[in-house]
Amino acid sequence: MVVALVKTLSLKEFLEIPETKPASEYIHNQIVQKPMPKGRHIRLQVRLCQEINLKVEEPKTAYAFPELRCNFNDHSIVPDIAVFLWEHIPFLADGEIPDNFNIAPDWIIEILSPDQNANKVIGKILHSIQHGSKLGWLLDADDQSVLVFRPNQQLVLMTNSDRLPVLENIFLELTVNDIFNWLKMS
Amino acid sequence: MVVALVKTLSLKEFLEIPETKPASEYIHNQIVQKPMPKGRHIRLQVRLCQEINLKVEEPKTAYAFPELRCNFNDHSIVPDIAVFLWEHIPFLADGEIPDNFNIAPDWIIEILSPDQNANKVIGKILHSIQHGSKLGWLLDADDQSVLVFRPNQQLVLMTNSDRLPVLENIFLELTVNDIFNWLKMS
């Protein structure tokens, strides 16, 4: 008789192992490495962070972090973009940004990669919504569309000139076209 | 000055052009051809139709059709599996099945292909739910998970031993594992 011993890491143990690049996430007790971001992914991630932060940093309403590790509800995820309302950023006593964020982002943005598993990414967004996120976006550059997730609301697929909902008190007007037009750089 | 004339087909015009293989769909005035199904996709589609029909044909509660064209709300879609409650099947006067179904299926099942656009498939399910479907499943064999869509309810990602919801009056007990275990055929 063969007894297979499968060692499952706890979240605490997972957080002690060295970071990988691309980042690894801990979801339902499983470790999954994110895909290596490609050109379009990086462009959307960087430009969208910039657009959000230009509106929110100065009035101190929120901040958008790319690739920030967020630990909550026995999961450790690294959203492509994690937006926190200013009052939810766990600043240290000296006003500095902490290294560890042990809460769900207020707004989670994921950019689907061609080789990425759609249901897994959607599961990650749904899990965040269940644990405090008020808004989730899933960008699909191939489809030029954005899936919009909100607590207790029907999922919505937005396209073309649809204006994307943002967090309350963030004054950012973006249509789906605005976002994917950023891919036409030259 | 160059004036580009872009001819957009109407649904009626689309339905007059010959069928393609794989089928083409007419969504938001655009014609999109479905990807060529591969081994796992075909296995799941055929076996799931069989499991459903073994439960529903004899009591005449419903019927599951693979690759059936459904036209409604200015769209023409071909779900991987379209399940209709028996009383919604538009039988002809002689009791025969019609060739044309001009309603949304009661239950739409899609199986994500590796080269398929996730947001586009999700948009198709959401559109069906908005126009009468009571249930939608999106199977992702790579993730061994099923996204479950229901009107006015939060999207749910189901995995492992989660028991999948089916239409009322269909007595079919299936877990996510049951479905993906069908892939282990040998």
Give me A16's structure tokens: 């002690």
Task: Confirm if B154 and B139 have CB atoms less than 8 A apart.
Answer: no
* DSSP one-letter code for A96: P
- Could you tell me which residues are beta bridge partners of residue A63? A84
- Of the candidates A129, A143, A155, which has its C-beta nearest B120's C-beta? A143
Average pLDDT over residues B107-125: 93
Sequence-separated (6 or more) residues with CB below 8 Å from residue A159:
A143, A144, A145, A146, A176, B28, B123
Picking from B154, B164, B176 by the largest number of A CB atoms within 10 A of its own CB, the best residue to mutate is: B154
Give me B86's structure tokens: 């028996």
Check B156 against A126: CB less than 8 A apart. Answer: yes
Report which of B120, B118, B155 is spatially closest to residue B136, judged by C-alpha positions.
B155
Exposure class string for A74-112: b at 16+ Cβ within 10 A, else e: ebbbbbbbbbbbeeebeeeeeeeeeeebebbbbbbbbbb
Check B145 against A112: CB less than 8 A apart. Answer: no
pLDDT at A1: 42
Exposure class string for B87-107: b at 16+ Cβ within 10 A, else e: eebeeeeeeeeeeebebbbbb
pLDDT at B2: 47
Amino acid at A97: I
Average pLDDT over residues A8-37: 92
Task: Confirm if B44 and B33 have CB atoms less than 8 A apart.
Answer: no
The interface predicted TM-score of the complex, written ipTM, equals 0.76
B59-89: pLDDT as tens digits: 999 999 999 999 999 999 999 999 999 999 9
- Of the candidates B120, B152, B157, which has its C-beta nearest A126's C-beta? B157
* pTM metric for this prediction: 0.85
Q: Which residue has the higher pLDDT, B40 or A114?
A: B40
> Nearest-CA distance from B181 to chain A in Å?
18
Task: Confirm if A149 and A10 have CB atoms less than 8 A apart.
Answer: no
Cβ-based contacts of A147 with chain B (< 8 Å): 119, 122
All structural domains of chain B, each given as residue ranges with its CATH number in brackets, are 34-181 (3.90.1570.10)
- Of the candidates B28, B140, B151, which has its C-beta nearest A119's C-beta? B140
Q: What's the pLDDT band for A2 if we cut at 50, 70, 90?
A: very low
Nearest CA in chain A to B28: A159
Count A/B contacts: CB-CB distance under 8 Å.
Answer: 72
Give me B28's structure tokens: 């938001």
Residue B54 has pLDDT above 90, yes or no: yes
Sequence-separated (6 or more) residues with CB below 8 Å from residue A83:
A52, A56, A62, A63, A64, A65, A105, A106, A107, A108, A109, A167
Picking from B155, B156, B160, B162 by the largest number of A CB atoms within 10 A of its own CB, the best residue to mutate is: B155
Cβ-based contacts of A8 with chain B (< 8 Å): none
Neighbours of A127 (CB within 10 A): 20
Q: What's the pLDDT band for B142 if we cut at 50, 70, 90?
A: very high
Amino acid at A133: S
Lookup result for tokens 């230009």: A54
User: What phi, psi does A30 have (nearest 5°)?
Assistant: -115, 145
pLDDT at B121: 95
pLDDT at B8: 82
Average pLDDT over residues B101-107: 97
Picking from A125, A126, A154, A158 by the largest number of B CB atoms within 10 A of its own CB, the best residue to mutate is: A154
A66-102: pLDDT as tens digits: 999 999 999 999 999 999 999 999 999 998 999 889 9
Region of B44 on the Ramachandran plot (φ > 0 left; ψ -120 to 50 alpha; else beta) = alpha
User: What phi, psi does B6 have (nearest 5°)?
Assistant: -100, 115
Residue A4 has pLDDT above 90, yes or no: no
> Nearest-CA distance from B91 to chain A in Å?
33
User: What phi, psi does A31 have (nearest 5°)?
Assistant: -100, 125
B1-46: pLDDT as tens digits: 444 555 689 999 999 999 999 999 999 889 999 999 899 999 999 9
- Of the candidates A119, A154, A159, which has its C-beta nearest B147's C-beta? A119
Task: Confirm if B83 and B105 have CB atoms less than 8 A apart.
Answer: yes
State the DSSP string of B15-53: HHSPP-SSPEEEETTEEEEPPPP-HHHHHHHHHHHHHHH
Check A119 against B126: CB less than 8 A apart. Answer: no
Sequence-separated (6 or more) residues with CB below 8 Å from residue A88:
A103, A106
Sequence-separated (6 or more) residues with CB below 8 Å from residue A82:
A64, A65, A68, A70, A101, A105, A107, A108, A109
In percent, the amount of chain A with pLDDT more than 90 equals: 84
Longest dimension (CA), chain A: 66
Average per-residue pLDDT for chain A: 93
